[in-house]
Amino acid sequence: MNKFFIMTRGRTGSTAIVDVLNKTKSVHTTREQEIFLRHEFPQIRKNFPDLKNYPSTLPFELWKTQTPKWWSYLPYRRMDAWLINRYLQDAEKLAMQEGVGAFGFKVLSNHFDENPSLKGTLLACGYRVLYLKRNVPHQVISGMIAKQRGVYNTKKDFQDDTRYILDIDEFKKLVEWEAQSVARDLELLRSSGFNFIEVTYEEFMADREAFFVRVLAFLGVPPEVPQASSYSVMIKDLKHTVENYQAVAECAATMGMSIE
C-alpha cells in the first residue's frame, strides 16, 4: 500500500479534493482530514464519548489519550517522533483492512511548525506528497470572504447573494505572504528529499479526468474518475461576490498576478 499526504495551505480547495479522493476505489483518506491539527475535536468527543467506536483513524491528539498506560514507562514514549510513528502504523493498518492501494490525509504546512518531529517521521515512513496550490489571489479572496461570512465549508448546496468589500491593503499583504509561504513550502519539500508533485485547484476544476489520471498514477493506483465532491463551491461568481472586484483585480495586477 502506497502512502501519501496532501500538503497545502488554507483555502486551496483541499477539502473537496481529499473528499473526492476518498470516493475512488483504490484510495482511502481519513474521515477527519487534518489528523495532525492541534485541536480538541469537540464534535468527535460528543458523538463518540469513549472514542472506541470512531469509524476511522482518530486525530493524533485524541489517539494519544487512548494509548496503553504501560507506554508511559517506556523511556522513548515521550518522544514525539516515536508516537507519530506508532500512530501512523495504526492508521495504515486500518486502511489496509479496506484493501486499498493508497492511504493518505491532509497536512497544512503550519502543522510542521507546530510539530517539529512530523516532517522527518513522514519522510522516514516513505510518504509521498501531493503539494496542492491555488491561484494565490483567489486563495486569499476565498479566505477573506469566508472570514466575513463565517462559513468556510459546507456539504450543502451553498447559496449566498451577499456582496462583500475587501480591504485592498489587507488583500495585498495576504497575497504577498501566501506567495512567499508557498515558495517556502516547496523549498522545504525539495531540501528534505520528499517524492512530490505539484497540483493545482484550477487543474482540478478545469479537467477532472486529466487531474485524476495524473494524481492516481503518482499514487500508484489504477486510473478512474471519481464522483464529484460532496462539498459546495463557496464562491460561484467572483465578480458578483466581490463588490470592489475591479480594485482588487488592479491590486493583483500590480503584483504581476491575475484574478481573471
Reply yes or no on domain 2-254 having CATH 1.10.3470: no
Each residue of 138-173: pLDDT tens digit?
999 999 999 999 999 988 788 899 999 999 999 999
Each residue of 216-242: pLDDT tens digit?
999 999 999 999 898 999 999 999 999
Spell out the residues 6+ positions from residue 235 whose beta carbon is closer than 8 angstroms to its own. Answer: 141, 142, 145, 241
* CA separation for the pair 87, 74 (Å, rounded): 16
**Phi, psi for 120 (deg, rounded to 5):** -65, -35
Beta strands in the chain (DSSP E): 2-8, 27-29, 102-108, 128-133, 196-200
Sheet arrangement for strand 196-200: 27-29, 102-108, 2-8, 128-133, 196-200
The pLDDT of residue 77: 56
**Residue appearing with cell numbers 501531493:** 130
**Residue appearing with cell numbers 494509548:** 67
Looking at per-residue pLDDT, the higher value among 14 and 75 belongs to 14
Whole-prediction pTM: 0.94
